[in-house]
């Protein structure tokens, strides 16, 4: 388990170096999008319109921040549950997006698509919105402003802390980590439906 520092946009070579379990510390530009923004982005693509950002090597952060207080760059900004974006993730990978930051399990289709297109699934600590906001240096709404917290934002981050759950080799930190600490006499086995 290594600590890897990367600057966006990500290259295929950088992505291949990262393994499940690695700490991935991100600097540069990343883009926010959640449920409603993803729905609009795939509708835009279907209608022949471009995405609101250049997807090549891009990193998408699943977050809906709180409004900034006067003097703040952004409000609290921790990750939301990623499975709700599963439906849209293979299309984002086809467009060239290289990594997704969220929290929680991904479905089988997403894991397959990450291997197929060469993408990473990264997580940061859910509920640590005040702490994570400190790594965000600039924030600007670039699309779907009417969606409020769910609008697409361009963020500039400095040493944003994440951990790699799924790499391009099919690695799965949730399964490995939980299996390591599950007790042999547990009544229910870990991992369960969500991670299979």
Separation CA 163–CA 82 (nearest Å):
14
CB 19, CB 171: distance < 8 Å = yes
Q: Is 7 exposed, middle or buried (0-12, 13-18, 19+ CB in 10 A)?
A: exposed
Is 38 annotated in the active site? Answer: yes
Separation CA 81–CA 106 (nearest Å):
9
Residue 37 exposure: Cα atoms within 13 Å on the Cβ side: 26
Binding residue for another protein (CB under 8 A) from 56, 67, 109, 137?
Answer: 67
Query: Binding to another protein by residue 27, rule CB under 8 A?
Result: no
Query: Binding to another protein by residue 101, rule CB under 8 A?
Result: no
Active-site entry in 8, 10, 38, 51: 38
Binding residue for another protein (CB under 8 A) from 24, 30, 77, 99?
Answer: 77
Binding residue for another protein (CB under 8 A) from 3, 13, 48, 69?
Answer: 69
Maximum Cα–Cα distance across the chain? 55
Query: Binding to another protein by residue 3, rule CB under 8 A?
Result: no
Active site residues per annotation: 38
Site residues, another protein (CB under 8 A): 36, 63-69, 72, 75-78, 80-81, 83, 103-105, 123, 125-131, 133-134, 147-149, 163, 173-174, 176-183, 185-195
């Amino acid at each position: 388990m290594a600590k890897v520092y990367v600057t966006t946009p990500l290259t295929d070579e950088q992505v291949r170096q990262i393994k499940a379990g690695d700490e991935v510390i991100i600097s540069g530009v990343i883009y926010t999008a959640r449920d409603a923004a993803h729905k609009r982005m795939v509708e835009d693509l279907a209608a022949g319109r471009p995405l609101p950002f250049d997807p090549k090597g891009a990193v998408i952060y699943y977050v809906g921040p709180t409004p900034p207080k006067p003097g703040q760059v952004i409000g609290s900004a921790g990750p939301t549950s990623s499975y709700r974006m599963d439906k849209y993730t293979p299309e984002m990978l086809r467009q060239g997006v290289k990594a997704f930051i969220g929290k929680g399990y991904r479905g089988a289709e997403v894991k397959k698509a990450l291997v197929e297109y060469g993408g990473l699934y990264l997580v940061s600590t859910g509920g640590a919105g005040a702490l994570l906001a400190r790594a965000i240096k600039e924030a600007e709404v670039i699309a779907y402003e009417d969606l409020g917290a769910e609008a697409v934002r361009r963020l500039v981050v400095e040493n944003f802390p994440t951990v790699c759950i799924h790499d391009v080799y099919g690695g799965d930190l949730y399964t490995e980590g939980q299996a390591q600490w599950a007790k042999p006499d547990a009544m229910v086995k870990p991992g369960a439906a969500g991670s299979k």
